[in-house]
């Protein structure tokens, strides 16, 4: 272990070996990385542990500097573990560069089938005794991390002291089709709110999409910017400042050149940074698999269900006068054609989309008998996680207390971290 310091905190790097398949503990192992954080003044104190499960799937834990966001509040009483979930961050990577070690697409898909919430929870239970001496710990789950926390409650509540969930109460039984059928109307509301705030962006978005229809555009690094790829910038609208960031990106789209109007280098650079999955490819590869719980394949649900909502069809929109609707947290087959970080994984993704042996993730009976204190922030009209699905799950988990708020978007634990965490701790402890 290596320890080092940042302002006000002591950091320690941890590496753990865990089975790829926890049902085969003598088989292949992979490595997990986690960063321990403790307040400098309490570095030698005996403190309870809080493990943070990042959103995603496919994102490593956030790299904090000092006591940013919610971390400062947590460090008042906890020793914090920032876990890079399997396949992310400094844990054994899974991407276009490393997955060929597994073999072909079939072998890669079989390997990645072990990277869902069920395996992540068993990873946590494998490393918990090594850090806590067997004592239960508190889990803070953001977005997909909340899905993992709900799985934790379903299968290993003995490892939990308290569970805190922010924007991540999943439906216990909705299929991927049902998830996206609920999602597109929410996305439409976010787009309409954006255009109401920035009406000048209606013409800008149409002009950009028309340009992309007429001009094949390849960004630096090889990303092919199609009208559909441009629409996927709508994922920004789920964050607290996302609408503003999208507006500033669109306002700088064109520059006059000797050959006529062209997309500016600044715009192209910003779009490439916003759309590339190079840093988190598992988000795209496994996204629909996080909703799969039985023999029904997901079969590119987001793409299929989009066909039920004509307003999201760029070609039809541009043939008329309607505003262009951005899409949101949805992954489509064309992502694996436009993004060079995903192209080599297209067949692997197709195999995962066709898979029919997904195991259930949640145990409704066990959740109904829950005894672990649980508090959840549910963001009103969250673009990423359906509010009605979350509230239905909240009612199904015994003793869970909710805080429903429209003060924050999906990233509330980052934007208002100290207050959000403080509120959740008070709810879980019966102090609020």
Contact 353, 292 (CB under 8 A): no
Torsion of CA 388, 390, 396, 402, to 10 degrees: -110
Pairing of strands 79-84, 137-142: unpaired
Mark whether 211 is an active-site residue: no
Q: Give the whole-angstrom CA distance, residue 374 versus residue 390.
A: 14
Mark whether 287 is an active-site residue: no
Bridge partners, residue 13, by sequence: 2, 35
Using alpha carbons, select from 419, 400, 403 the residue that is nearest to residue 162.
Answer: 400
**Cα distance from N-terminal residue to C-terminal residue, the chain:** 39
Catalytic residue among 23, 44, 214, 357: 357
- How buried is 376 (Cβ within 10 angstroms: 0-12 exposed, 13-18 middle, 19+ buried)? buried
Q: How many residues does the chain have?
A: 432
Contact 302, 180 (CB under 8 A): yes
Measured at the CA of 334, the angle between CA 328 and CA 339, to 5 degrees, comes to 90
Using alpha carbons, select from 167, 254, 175, 164 the residue that is nearest to residue 208.
Answer: 254
Catalytic residue among 143, 171, 330, 390: 143
Mark whether 143 is an active-site residue: yes
- How buried is 55 (Cβ within 10 angstroms: 0-12 exposed, 13-18 middle, 19+ buried)? buried
Contact 377, 400 (CB under 8 A): no
Catalytic residue among 91, 332, 410, 411: 410
Inter-CA distances, 248 with 198, 225, 253, 255, 304, Å: 10, 18, 9, 15, 31
Output DSSP code: residue 96: T
Residues taking part in catalysis: 143, 357, 410
């Amino acid at each position: 272990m290596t320890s080092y310091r940042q302002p006000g905190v002591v950091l320690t790097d941890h590496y753990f070996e865990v089975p790829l398949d926890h049902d085969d503990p003598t088989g292949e192992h992979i490595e997990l990385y986690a960063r321990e954080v403790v307040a400098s003044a309490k570095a030698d104190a005996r403190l309870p542990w809080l493990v943070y499960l990042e959103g995603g799937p496919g994102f490593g834990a956030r790299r904090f500097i000092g006591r940013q966001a919610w971390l400062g509040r947590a460090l008042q009483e906890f020793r914090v573990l920032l876990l890079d979930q399997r396949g992310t961050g400094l844990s054994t990577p899974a991407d276009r560069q490393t997955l060929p070690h597994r073999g072909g697409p079939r072998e890669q898909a079989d390997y990645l089938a072990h990277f869902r919430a069920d395996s992540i929870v068993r990873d946590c239970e494998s490393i918990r005794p090594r850090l806590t001496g067997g004592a239960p710990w508190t889990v803070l789950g953001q977005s997909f991390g909340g899905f993992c926390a709900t799985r934790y409650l379903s299968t290993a509540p003995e490892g939990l002291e308290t569970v805190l969930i922010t924007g991540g109460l999943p439906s216990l039984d909705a299929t991927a089709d049902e998830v996206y059928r609920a999602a597109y109307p929410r996305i439409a509301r976010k787009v309409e709110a954006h255009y109401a705030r920035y009406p000048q962006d209606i013409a800008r978005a149409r002009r950009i999409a028309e340009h992309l229809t007429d001009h094949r555009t390849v960004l630096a690094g090889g990303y092919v910017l199609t009208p559909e790829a441009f629409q996927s910038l709508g994922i920004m609208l789920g964050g607290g400042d996302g609408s503003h960031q999208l507006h500033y990106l669109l306002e700088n789209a064109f520059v006059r050149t000797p050959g006529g109007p062209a997309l500016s280098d600044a715009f192209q650079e910003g779009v490439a940074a916003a759309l590339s999955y190079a840093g988190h490819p598992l988000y795209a590869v496994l996204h629909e698999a996080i909703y799969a719980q039985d023999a029904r394949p997901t079969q590119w649900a987001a793409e299929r269900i989009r066909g039920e909502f004509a307003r999201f069809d760029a070609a039809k929109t541009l043939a008329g006068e309607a505003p262009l609707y951005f899409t949101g947290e949805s992954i489509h087959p064309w992502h694996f054609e436009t993004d060079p970080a995903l192209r080599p994984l297209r067949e692997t993704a197709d195999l995962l989309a066709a898979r029919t042996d997904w195991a259930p993730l949640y145990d409704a009976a066990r959740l109904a008998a829950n005894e672990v204190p649980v508090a959840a922030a549910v963001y009103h009209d969250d673009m990423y996680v359906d509010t009605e699905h979350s509230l239905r799950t909240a009612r199904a988990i015994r003793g869970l207390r909710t805080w429903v708020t429209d003060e924050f978007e999906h990233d509330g634990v980052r934007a208002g971290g100290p207050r959000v965490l403080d509120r959740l701790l008070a709810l879980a402890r019966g102090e609020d």
